[in-house]
Amino acid sequence: MEQKKKSYEKWTYDEAHLTDQSKFVERVSISVVFELLEHLLHHGILNTEEWASFRKEFPRADMARLLFDLVMKKGCAETMMDHLKEIDPFLYESLGLP
């Protein structure tokens, strides 16, 4: 039986990445960004230095963009998006994710 690919598996540094990043940045709230950061720290995906860099005074959109890029570079989109589905199912669905 062929396993279905989750749509965030297509998130790579190409045009699709830029579209998905734009949707995420537009729609994610600051509280969800912080929740995702805490989750990634707890699971060892972010180290404390990376986590602390987000605690600076950045506008929400910049934080969301930095988070998205960091997750993509580390190859942990699945971990972040699975947690997003739990904490903000409406945002998760609005991104066109299954």
CA pair distance 8, 58, nearest whole angstrom = 25
Residue found by looking up tokens 């180290």 in the block: 47
For the chain, domains (ranges, CATH) are: 13-94 (1.10.533.10)
CB 37 within 8 A of CB 67: yes
pLDDT value at position 38? 95
- 0.85 exceeded by the pTM? no
Work out the end-to-end distance of the chain between its first and last CA atoms, rounded to an integer number of angstroms: 19
Residue stretches of the chain with pLDDT short of 50: 1-5, 7-8, 10-18
pLDDT value at position 37? 94
pLDDT value at position 53? 87
